[in-house]
Amino acid sequence: MVLVGVMVEAVLLVLAAGAVLFELIRGGSGSLAVSAFLVVFFLGVAAVLVTCARALRGGRRGGRAPVAVWQLLQGLVGISLLTSGTTWALLAGVALVVVSLVVLVLLMTRPVVAATQG
């Protein structure tokens, strides 16, 4: 389940990068630099999550810490979205917080920790 959650996050980050890139190409972006940074950032985090998922699947503990840190950061973004007041941001915030909590709790369960001791 942890691997599924991490891979879903990676796919969503790639989709978010595509959405920002599409907005940039059609001229809807207010800043080329910010849009370019977001695309590179989203793709970079997605690549790190995929690498971490492979490490977890291989039983290596090196994937646990980066995934846990990403869940905390993602949860903080979700909490900030909850306070924005718009419906889409509220829904996105709830989704981010729930996914972050689920993946973080599953990451810390005894079977996952035992499987990634090596």
Listed ranges 39-48, 53-62, 108-117; the one with the highest mean pLDDT: 39-48
Is residue 73 within 8 A of residue 45, CB to CB? The reply is no
Q: Is the dihedral of CA 10, 13, 15, 18 positive or negative?
A: negative
Which pLDDT tens digit goes with each residue over 44-90?
Answer: 999 999 999 999 999 998 999 999 999 999 999 999 999 988 999 99
How confident is the model at residue 11, as a pLDDT?
A: 96
pLDDT of 95 higher than 80: yes
For the chain, what are the domain ranges?
Answer: 2-113
**Confidence (pLDDT) at 118:** 65
